[in-house]
Amino acid sequence: MTTRTLEHIGFIGFGIMGKPMALNLINAGWPLWGYARRAESLQPLLQAGARACASPREVAEHAEIIFTMVADTPDVEQVILGEAGLIHGLRLGSVVVDMSTISASVTRRIAATLAAGGVDMLDAPVSGGETGAIQGTLSFMVGGTDSAFQRVLPLFQAMGKNIVHIGSNGAGQIAKSCNQILVAQTIAGVAEALLFAQAAGADPAKVRQALLGGFAYSKILEVHGQRMLDHQFQPGFKAGLHQKDMRIVQEIAAELKLPLPGTALASQWINAVVANGQGELDSSALLTVLEQMAGVKIGELQG
């Protein structure tokens, strides 16, 4: 790291993704102030050198750049604009970076509210799952001003590898919706292909191995395909959160009067996973819904 004055960093949201991302910032040398609704979520960060705050407002009072990584649109609104929210402690020239996946229209509204007080906002949703968060290889899709983006770029680089400034506020959220459209439909495609192989008498594991070397290769076939073969669905990304993301996509599509039939179908598969009580599992648990419908399970001998 080049010699320079390190800005104090704030971080709110220490879930599957947020905790390793915050740890990567600490390990890169930035002083970090954190707030968590559940104190135990903050413990690994405190052990690494972070300092605890009693509210989002207090985080803003200590930090110049504050990251949020929470579950849904109402959570972001509460953390930033709520009674004890960041807005009450932010100083002129601060930057709020929301890495959650939320509504683009609400992102724009929050950004306008902060801008009126001399505070920049970036929407910077991520892709790459828990593994990418741990390894610091996430993809960032960023919306906001170029000056704020350049200021925060070194921090993004401590957490990710593919960092793209998409455009103005809200553009990062739109890019993330595009990501979720592709991910949901590809998970469904991989599940159908492996189930088809099983039912037709071909070894799904060997079929996957062959496909990994051809034009059908995808990261989802590589990672989620293996999860499906192993029936191991510990979440890299929870199906319940994926359901929320697909709801956001369909709300935007409805506003635009834009038909997205493949997205609508993939959303129903995700809904079925959650309806089966598997919302805390990885989205790749979609396979189990197809298995139930077909009466075929990957790995079982077919009669």
Q: Does the pLDDT at position 4 exceed 50?
A: no
Predicted confidence band of residue 3 (pLDDT cuts 50, 70, 90): very low
Predicted confidence band of residue 40 (pLDDT cuts 50, 70, 90): confident
**Of 58 and 7, the one with more pLDDT:** 58
Collapsing DSSP states into helix, strand and coil, what is residue 225?
A: helix
The DSSP bridge pattern shows strands 126-127 and 120-123 to be unpaired
Catalytic residues: 176
Q: Give pLDDT, residue 2.
A: 32
Per residue in 239-281, pLDDT tens?
A: 999 999 999 999 999 999 999 999 999 999 999 999 999 999 9
Per residue in 65-118, pLDDT tens?
A: 999 999 899 999 999 999 999 999 999 999 999 999 999 999 999 999 999 999
For residues 3 and 25, the answer to whether their CB atoms sit within 8 Å is no
Predicted confidence band of residue 39 (pLDDT cuts 50, 70, 90): confident
CA distance 283 to 238: 6
Percent of the chain with pLDDT over 90: 92
Q: Give pLDDT, residue 1.
A: 27
Q: Give pLDDT, residue 5.
A: 55
Bridge partners, 32 (sequence order): 9
Q: Which CATH class is domain 9-168?
A: alpha beta
Fold of 175-294: N-(1-d-carboxylethyl)-l-norvaline Dehydrogenase; domain 2 (1.10.1040)
CA distance 241 to 283: 9
Over residues 147-152, mean pLDDT: 98
Average pLDDT score, the chain: 95
Residue ranges covered by each domain of the chain: 9-168, 175-294
Instruction: Flag whether the pTM goes above 0.85.
Output: yes
Write the Ramachandran bin of 93: left for phi over 0, alpha for psi from -120 to 50, otherwise beta: left
Per residue in 291-300, pLDDT tens?
A: 999 999 998 7
Question: CA distances (Å), 64 to each of 58, 74, 168, 203, 226, in order?
Answer: 12, 23, 21, 55, 42
Q: Does the pLDDT at position 226 exceed 60?
A: yes
Per residue in 155-195, pLDDT tens?
A: 999 999 999 999 999 999 999 999 999 999 999 999 999 99
The DSSP bridge pattern shows strands 51-52 and 32-35 to be parallel
Over residues 142-149, mean pLDDT: 98
